[in-house]
Chain A
Amino acid sequence: MEQNSTDWSKIARNPKFKELRRRKEKFLFGWWIISAVIFVIFLVVANLGRKVYGWCVIGDINLGYLLVLALFVYCWFIAGYYASWANRFSDKMTADLVEDLKEGGINK
């Protein structure tokens, strides 16, 4: 594959590529913003609502500690969810697109 002769703008205009980009951006930036908001709210409430976090839920285990655990679980969830989403959708779409480009000649 000669790099210089590849018409990248043409690929960038390819509807399949655009669709892949759109879905990726929606997923990735969307979940990043949700995560960031959750994290910041968690910190702000920790600071301003000490009494809330001090509420004992089970025995002497308080809400504050349970939230810490919940956030670890949330991070695992994001890791697992993204991995499965990418395996199911974006990897396939990418492979499909690259296959298309090869078949049609990269400059077509």
Chain B
Amino acid sequence: MKGRFVILAVILALLAPSIALLPAQALAAGSDSYIAQAVVAQTAKSAAPAVPAKIAADKRITITMFCIFIAITLGIVYWASKRTTSTGAFYAASSSITGVQNGWAMAGDFMSAASFLGVSGLISLFGWDGMMYCIGTSFAYVTLLLIMAEPCRNVGKYTVGDILSFRAKPAPVRATMALAAVLLSIMYLIVQMVGGGKLIELLLGVPYTWSVILVGVLMLIYAVAGGMLATTWVQIIKAGLLMGGGFLLFILMAAHFGFNPLRFFSEVVSSPKIQSWVQIALLKQPVAQPGFEYGRRFLEPGLLQTNVWDQVSLGIGSFLLGVAGMPHILMRFFTVPDAKAARKSIVVAMILIGLFFVMVTLFGLGAAVIVSPQAIVAVDKGGNMANLLMAELLGANVSPLFGDIFFAFLCSVAFATILAVVAGLVLAAAGAIGHDIWISIIRKGKATQREQVMAARIAALIVGVVAILISLMSQNINVAHLATLAFAIAASGVVPAVVFSLFWRKMTTAGICATLLVGTVVSLVLVLVSPNMTYPKIVAQGAQTQITSLEKKQAAGQTLTEKETGDLAKAKQVYEANKDGKSIMGLDRPWFPLRNPGIVSAPIGWLVAIIFSLLFPNKREEEKFDEMYVRQTTGMGIDELIKT
């Protein structure tokens, strides 16, 4: 068996380069990569000597690396699928993952494309404020470590629904929890897939539709065929590659600054490009204030987040509580055999996450110095390419071929990262549909192993296909606020339901269902009326201001430059299109002032849990608390949970 797997992997790896050549030639016809063009265009305009003119990555190398990665992971899927014959194997890898392995996998869940590329991009554009996301993730793991990990392992089997239905009425609790889990997972899945699709479009030049289909098909193969075992191993391998690649980039960057942290920071502060970026693009001061140190301003807070309530809301709602309620994270605790291993996995994950995010903070600042914020936004408005651009520049300084290979390697790791995270999300949603709804409620737990595994696979397939379809339709929609919404729902619904079930005797079915429903609805409504949505009248207002200022200039007898004439026409178009529009909720302006609803929705969700449990007490459920309390503390009876 093992021999066959090795042979298969080797054959696929050998085939990869030749497969890669086919599309590469077709793509090569379109001359160099988009990134290179944009950077070249940018350097030509600003004539900065810092960025060399030719940093075109060889696409054949990138595609070859992609194929090698795909081949290796498919080998893992083949190996895992042979072992995935029971329900426990499909959802929880038969609880056979060790603490250290699961630690790497859990770290992998947060060492995503969004953090490696997105967060360093944010730091490269907004300085200090971007680092908040790095710290936040670390604190999210504090909650997982201290509150969730061990009790969840001790009483849960495959899904969060198992924990909630331990003493509450199974049918209503499982149904509401499954609803919340599917909603959360699909929302987060869409964010990852749309982001991933756009990233691959940028990296390989494949159209968006094909990028999403590529990601989606691989995700389905990993999740449906390989189940949790394959998904965990893909996650572990990816986390290792990302850590290794990140460390190499870190060394290259440190060497660039002579391994001297003081010099690194003084170059950030004294970079003329960063100074003008802060002054013009961020603080919108056309004329520099004399004596103001714009370079130092880059390292101070407040360039991205200006509202203190929004900041705190993001911190509490998304990080401190939100992450701890994401089903795909909680599900990882079921893959280890006992509470000790669950604890160990979080400790390992926290060490890795910390190391990784310290590097990310430095990558962001380094990219701002080496590549410059102006060149980064020229390639991608969100700054997602900051790290990769820096990697290519630094690599090219060593040798051009090394630069190409290093760039290609990091691109494939970014690709791997998207796949590993989305496969885990599909499994979480599949657990909710297959295990909670189909097997537990509809079939009342009376199903053979064969049927259970079949139900799980079909559920994974359905969830995956739905997510692919929605992602294909969402190309031009801003989906970033779906992540905010998902974390808010987790913080205001799932976390209070789980925490009160585990620790509060008087929590009942009514409390669980109420907090899940109210938490979801409140979060949803607050996001729908928040500044995350587009408000056409505000857009029109902005266009109007631009029109007025340009027309004033015209009236004063000045001739507009070609660009300004274009801007004026565009602004008029935007104004006409938006002046009578309303937001998705029919509003002229946001009704709720914060982008992150957590600070309001979480207290509501937690209060509702308490109120409804007290209003609808249940003696039997209270009596069963003792059993849950003893089990979650001591882990007694865990063998039966794992064996079946």
Binding site for B on A (CB under 8 A): 1, 3, 6, 8-9, 11-12, 17, 20-21, 24, 28-29, 31-32, 35-36, 39-40, 42-44, 46-48, 50-51, 53-54, 56, 58-62, 64-65, 68-69, 71-72, 75-76, 78-80, 82-83, 86, 91, 94, 97-98, 101
Contacts and interface: CB of A to CB of B under 8 A. Distances in A.
A60 B623 CA distance: 61
A51 B300 CA distance: 8
7 nearest interchain CB pairs? Answer: A8-B627, A47-B308, A59-B262, A60-B265, A46-B301, A12-B626, A54-B300
A75 B139 contact: yes
A12 B308 CA distance: 44
Among the interface residues A17, A31, A48, A54, which one has the most CB atoms of the partner chain B within 10 A? A54
Nearest to B636: A98
A14 to B, nearest CB: 9
B269 A12 contact: no
Interface in B70-104: none
Given A43-B311, A43-B315, A83-B347, A28 B296 contact: no
Contacts of B640: 3
A72 B630 contact: no
B343 A53 contact: no
Given A62-B296, A64-B301, A12 B630 contact: yes
B394 interface: no
11 contacts: A1-B637, A28-B147, A46-B302, A47-B307, A54-B300, A58-B262, A68-B131, A76-B354, A78-B350, A80-B347, A83-B343
A54 B637 CA distance: 54
Given A8-B630, A58-B262, A68 B361 contact: yes
A88 B97 CA distance: 24
Interface of B: 128, 131-132, 134-135, 138-139, 141-143, 145-147, 261-262, 265-266, 268-269, 296-297, 299-302, 305-308, 311-312, 315-316, 319-320, 340, 343-344, 346-347, 350-351, 354, 357-358, 361, 623, 626-627, 629-631, 633-637, 640
Given A82-B145, A98-B636, 16 more contacts: A24-B633, A32-B147, A36-B316, A39-B135, A39-B315, A48-B308, A50-B300, A62-B300, A64-B128, A64-B301, A75-B141, A75-B350, A79-B351, A80-B347, A83-B343, A97-B634
Contacts of A64: 128, 299-301
A35 B139 contact: yes
Contact of B633 (A21, A31, A54): A21
Nearest to A75: B138
B630 A46 contact: no
Contacts of B146: 28-29, 31-32, 35, 78, 82
A36 B320 contact: yes
User: B306, B626, B633, B635: which has the most chain A beta carbons within 10 Å?
Assistant: B633
A78 B296 contact: no
Contacts of B141: 75, 79
Nearest to A33: B146
Contact of B354 (A31, A43, A72, A91): A72
Given A82-B146, A91-B340, A9 B626 contact: yes
B337 to A, nearest CB: 14
B347 A79 contact: yes
A50 B637 contact: no
B359 to A, nearest CB: 11
Nearest to B348: A79
Q: Is the interface of A mostly helix, strand, loop or mixed?
A: helix
B311 A17 contact: no
Contacts of B302: 46-47, 50
B634 A32 contact: no
A17 B632 CA distance: 12
Contacts of A54: 296-297, 299-300
B262 to A, nearest CB: 4
Contacts of B344: 83
A24 B296 CA distance: 45
B448 to A, nearest CB: 23
Contacts of B320: 36, 39
Given A3-B637, A62-B299, A64-B299, A75 B142 contact: yes
A58 B315 CA distance: 28
Contacts of A53: 128, 300-301
Contacts of A59: 262, 265-266
A83 to B, nearest CB: 5
B308 A44 contact: yes
The residue among B128, B269, B302 with the most chain A CB atoms within 10 A of its own CB is B128
B188 to A, nearest CB: 23
Given A9-B626, A11-B626, A42 B637 contact: no
A70 to B, nearest CB: 10
A95 B300 CA distance: 50
B634 A43 contact: no
Contacts of B143: 32
A107 B134 CA distance: 49
B315 A40 contact: yes
Contacts of A82: 145-146, 343, 347
A53 to B, nearest CB: 6
B626 A8 contact: yes
Nearest to B303: A50
Given A8-B627, A64-B301, A46 B132 contact: yes
A24 B152 CA distance: 15
Contacts of B623: 9
A96 to B, nearest CB: 10
A84 to B, nearest CB: 10
B636 A68 contact: no
Contacts of B297: 54
A92 B204 CA distance: 54
Contacts of A3: 637, 640
Nearest to B302: A50
Contacts of A17: 630, 633-634
Given A61-B261, A61-B262, A72-B354, A79 B301 contact: no
